[in-house]
Structure 1
Amino acid sequence: MDNNLENLAKLLRYFSLVSTTEAGSGHPTSALSAADLMAVLCFGGFYRFDLNNPDFFNNDRLIFSKGHASPLFYSIYAAAGKVSEKEMLNLRQFGSKLEGHPTMEFPYTEVPTGSLGQGLSVGAGMAMNAKMDKLNYRTFVLLGDSEMAEGSVWEAMEIASHYKLDNLVGILDANRLGQRGETLYGHHLEKYQKKAEAFGWGTAVIEGHSLEEINSALEKAVKAKDKPFMIIAKTLKGKGVSFIEDKDGWHGKALSADELEKALEELGEIDKHVVGEIAKPAKISNFQFPISNQFSIPKFTNYKPDEKVATRKAYGNALANLVEANNQIVVLDAETSNSTYSESVKKTHPEKFVECFIAEQNMAGMALGFSRRGKIPFASTFAAFWSRAFDQIRMSQYANSNIKFVGSHAGVSIGEDGSSQMALEDIAMFRTNLGGVVLYPSDAVSTEKLVLEAAKHVGNVFIRTTRAATPIIYNVDDNFPIGGSKTVKSSDSDKATIIAAGITLHEALKAYEELQKEGINLRIIDLYSIKPLDINTLQKAAKETGVIITVEDHFPEGGIGEAVAGALCTFEVHHILESLAVRKVPHSGKPAEIMEYEEIDASAIIKKVKSLLNTD
């Protein structure tokens, strides 16, 4: 094996050690165990990447799923001459691009990692994107053995095998020791091998510090056909430094200055002049990388004014039209496409549809992978089940992602299926997404318009859809900008304002009709954009009517009521603000029965209005 690779592996260890000691924190032992693996991968001709053009569409992708080994990640690019030793010594410092776990501040980071168990799903999305675009880049994912206990890893394993992603290579750094002791299987690598092969992966079990064995395994991996490949490497945590090598109790601990001096003595002479050469990717001249915010306007479905259409069905119509007009759209679903209606794309453009089965965490990760490669993924399932993937959604907010999450069957209005299927926390969950958008259409027309707005918006969006068919209340010429609202009913004599969205907007309109018969005029606002809010319209309503009542098919915590309260809390004009929301454990029943039970129907609105206006 080339002595140059040995020198580069030693240089990777050097940078990992000195940077963490200078920082006074970090995970040097986790970096040392994978140094040989990364030296051969990155400088042995397997990883193909244009360092001067990190966004080149045919670059191989390298994901450190074990993000705590970030010192090693940065060291790769230091050894390649793109990060100076001075920069390495700023590891973990405020303002440094070399953060404690990889982030998008560092130009060679594919996705932020550090929350374990997520990298392989993202890698599967990137690998599948290459298949869709007929590109020959590969995706390499470095995994730690601790994260192999995460269920999301195995969701990714099965989906990658199902779709025969032979351009996906996992590299398992099985160093035996986790944060507090031995990992689930320790060095019983045959157990990882049996599981990986049972999931349909090709495997190679190797000595992870033998450059020859690593090279041989990578040669097999890049030649794999019709199945992904997992290299299972037996490594030692802290490899190369005797007093920490394979020793428990060193996870997440930097060496002191004295310990570093001893460690460097053991490493021996370091050739800082050696430069690691990373192979260049193949040039492809006829591929156009998609530009996410350039759109052709799709056609819109011609709904009849007296028609009742579920917003989930309108979502399906919108998707089919959108995919027809724009090739950067990809649609994912978690085996609910006949209910979310994303099956419309499966029927018309199956090449743009990815069945993810009931594995929501992996679906969210794959969506991020597609997003990072220029696609605009629409990922849909029942809104309640997105809660399983909250950590993946949370991490996506740091990834400059552009994912459209869609949740159907929201709220108690789904009826007979009962509480396990009722999303009552989803608005709160997605409102926490940094810079994210939350949309909740009330009819088919607004749904189609908002799907287009979501697609045009660069950033994460959540669209909440309803199971029940609801009346058409808007015209195809109406516009629904993000951050807007619709004042559906108003007059100069409004006594109160009802703010609703989705199914409860229709209850508000029923209450409007009944109270108008008694001479009580209401202002009805469709808050279709829950984040960002149309604050000007809310303040105008508070000023002109003095009474605000929010009505939502959602728990009160984090929902529409709290969003409106937060927007109006500093408004100096006196007003009354009340909230109707789901406050009891819901049960099976007819939608009307449950909404009445939860006091979010028209009768509850009428009762609340009369009590506040003292007209009972």
Structure 2
Amino acid sequence: MSEILQLKRKATEIRMELLKMIYESGAGHTGGSLSITDILTVLYYKIMNIDPTNPTWEHRDRYVQSKGHAVESYWAILADKGFFQKEELKTFSQYNSRLIGHPNNKVPGVEMNTGALGHGLSISVGMALAAKMDGKSYKVYTLMGDGEQAEGSVWEGAMAASQYKLDNLVAIIDRNNLQITGNTEDVMSIEPLGSKWRSFGWEVVEVDGNDIEQLVHTFSKLPQTVGKPTMVIANTVKGKGISIAENQVGWHHRVPTKEEYELAVEELSQQLEVLV
């Protein structure tokens, strides 16, 4: 089996796991977690230099999920990679669980608590700047939502990253065009998105964020330009992989019914059967 096919299978398995977490817990952000699954799969199973047996290894690449509410795919991947036992996924969003609805750095593999949107990029700028000052070679990756681009702190971080020439910093925007209250261009228009980031001194790459092969090709060639931070605008489908949820704003924060869950599991199972 080719590496790309293996990654596609893994992404589908992660989708099944995160959907199970949401259904059984009765809570979660379904649409955005599904849209970012391919991105996280490529980062964690192909690109990032990490060691689950030593989560605080000083030379590890850092990942900050600024889009903290889409945590279900993140938890599923950290468990699958061995940062903690998979059995703990059953406690998602339960009383006294470490696996709450946003990233929590009591969990091995999580660099920073995130939840309030707009903070992840500035945190990542600090991490990337520290690496430069300390002469370390690790990279810092951060994933933001497209609705999050309305936060002013995002653009403060953007200016700082360019100012300090942080070519060890990679930011990703999950460009699925939907946020909790509607289409991003209706709620708070962010286009022309690529031009805005270029004007802030970033190298910008646009990809299909649900195409595993494109993602591998793009992330394997970073940084795009020495002396510049890189912005990857990942065009995705909200609810990707489950037809009843795809491009539906109502699935931003929604738990599937029993019937919907069974239909989704069947659909993902069929996808796995093809990926052999």
TM-score bracket relative to the smaller structure: over 0.9
- Taking a change above 3 Å as real, the CA distance of residues 222 and 50 of structure 1, as seen in their structure-2 partners, is farther
SS at match of 1:130: helix
Contact 1:176 1:185 (8 Å CA) reproduced? no
1:265-280 → structure 2 map (5 Å cutoff): 265-268=266-269
Matched, 1:50 2:51: yes
CA distance in 2, matches of 1:130, 1:82: 23
- Taking a change above 3 Å as real, the CA distance of residues 268 and 217 of structure 1, as seen in their structure-2 partners, is same
User: What's the counterpart of residue 72 of structure 2?
Assistant: 71
Structure whose CA Rg is larger: 1
SS at match of 1:67: coil
Identify the match of residue 16 of structure 2 among 10, 14, 17. Answer: 14
Question: Deviation at 1:240?
Answer: 0.5
CA distance in 1, matches of 2:95, 2:139: 33
CA offsets, 1:205-243, max 9 Å, x none? 111111121112212324531000010011011000011
Task: Give the aligned residue type for 1:7.
Answer: R
CA distance in 1, matches of 2:203, 2:210: 21
1:35-184 → structure 2 map (5 Å cutoff): 35-44=37-46, 46-184=47-185
Contact 1:13 1:72 (8 Å CA) reproduced? yes
- Taking a change above 3 Å as real, the CA distance of residues 185 and 218 of structure 1, as seen in their structure-2 partners, is farther
Task: Give the aligned residue type for 1:206.
Answer: V
Task: Give the aligned residue type for 2:38.
Answer: D
Contact 1:10 1:270 (8 Å CA) reproduced? yes
Task: Give the aligned residue type for 2:226.
Answer: K
CA distance in 1, matches of 2:74, 2:5: 21
SS at match of 1:184: helix
User: What's the counterpart of residue 529 of structure 1?
Assistant: none
User: What's the counterpart of residue 7 of structure 2?
Assistant: 5
- Taking a change above 3 Å as real, the CA distance of residues 211 and 141 of structure 1, as seen in their structure-2 partners, is same
Question: Deviation at 1:78?
Answer: 2.2
CA distance in 1, matches of 2:66, 2:229: 17
- Taking a change above 3 Å as real, the CA distance of residues 174 and 146 of structure 1, as seen in their structure-2 partners, is same
User: What's the counterpart of residue 24 of structure 1?
Assistant: 26
SS at match of 1:203: strand
> Which runs of at least 4 in structure 1 moved beyond 2 Å after TM superposition?
81-86, 219-224
CA distance in 2, matches of 1:36, 1:115: 23
Question: Deviation at 1:270?
Answer: 8.2
CA distance in 2, matches of 1:140, 1:85: 24
SS at match of 1:127: helix
After alignment, is 16-25 or 81-90 more displaced? 81-90
Q: What RMSD in Å do the two structures reach over aligned CA positions?
A: 1.8
Question: Deviation at 1:132?
Answer: 0.5
CA distance in 2, matches of 1:140, 1:224: 16
Question: Deviation at 1:167?
Answer: 0.4
Matched, 1:233 2:234: yes
SS at match of 1:204: strand
SS at match of 1:231: strand
User: What's the counterpart of residue 33 of structure 1?
Assistant: 35
Task: Give the aligned residue type for 2:229.
Answer: P
CA distance in 2, matches of 1:190, 1:262: 36
Question: Deviation at 1:177?
Answer: 0.7
Matched, 1:244 2:250: no
CA distance in 2, matches of 1:56, 1:158: 29
Aligned residue pairs total: 269
Contact 2:184 2:190 (8 Å CA) reproduced? no
CA distance in 2, matches of 1:84, 1:189: 40
SS at match of 1:169: strand
CA offsets, 1:60-87, max 9 Å, x none? 1100000001111111112213444431
User: What's the counterpart of residue 256 of structure 1?
Assistant: 257
CA offsets, 1:325-351, max 9 Å, x none? xxxxxxxxxxxxxxxxxxxxxxxxxxx
Question: Deviation at 1:17?
Answer: 0.5
SS at match of 2:58: coil
CA distance in 2, matches of 1:28, 1:83: 22
Question: Deviation at 1:190?
Answer: 6.4
Say which structure is richer in helix: 2
Task: Give the aligned residue type for 1:32.
Answer: L
Contact 2:84 2:108 (8 Å CA) reproduced? no
Higher RCO structure, 1 or 2 (CA under 8 Å, sep 6+): 2
CA distance in 1, matches of 2:262, 2:84: 23
CA distance in 2, matches of 1:266, 1:81: 27
User: What's the counterpart of residue 209 of structure 1?
Assistant: 210
- Taking a change above 3 Å as real, the CA distance of residues 41 and 201 of structure 1, as seen in their structure-2 partners, is same
CA distance in 1, matches of 2:261, 2:80: 20
CA distance in 2, matches of 1:82, 1:134: 27
Contact 2:4 2:213 (8 Å CA) reproduced? no
Question: Deviation at 1:185?
Answer: 7.5
Question: Deviation at 1:255?
Answer: 1.2
SS at match of 1:62: strand
CA distance in 1, matches of 2:221, 2:184: 27
CA distance in 1, matches of 2:133, 2:186: 36
After alignment, is 163-172 or 49-58 more displaced? 49-58
Contact 2:185 2:191 (8 Å CA) reproduced? no
CA distance in 1, matches of 2:186, 2:216: 25
SS at match of 1:252: coil
1:70-469 → structure 2 map (5 Å cutoff): 70-184=71-185, 191-268=192-269
CA offsets, 1:535-578, max 9 Å, x none? xxxxxxxxxxxxxxxxxxxxxxxxxxxxxxxxxxxxxxxxxxxx
Question: Deviation at 1:105?
Answer: 2.0
CA distance in 1, matches of 2:83, 2:118: 29
Length-normalised TM-score, structure 2: 0.92
> Which consecutive residues of structure 1, in runs of 5 or more, have no partner in the other structure?
272-616
Task: Give the aligned residue type for 2:36.
Answer: A
CA distance in 2, matches of 1:104, 1:118: 15
- Taking a change above 3 Å as real, the CA distance of residues 208 and 191 of structure 1, as seen in their structure-2 partners, is same
Question: Deviation at 1:55?
Answer: 1.2
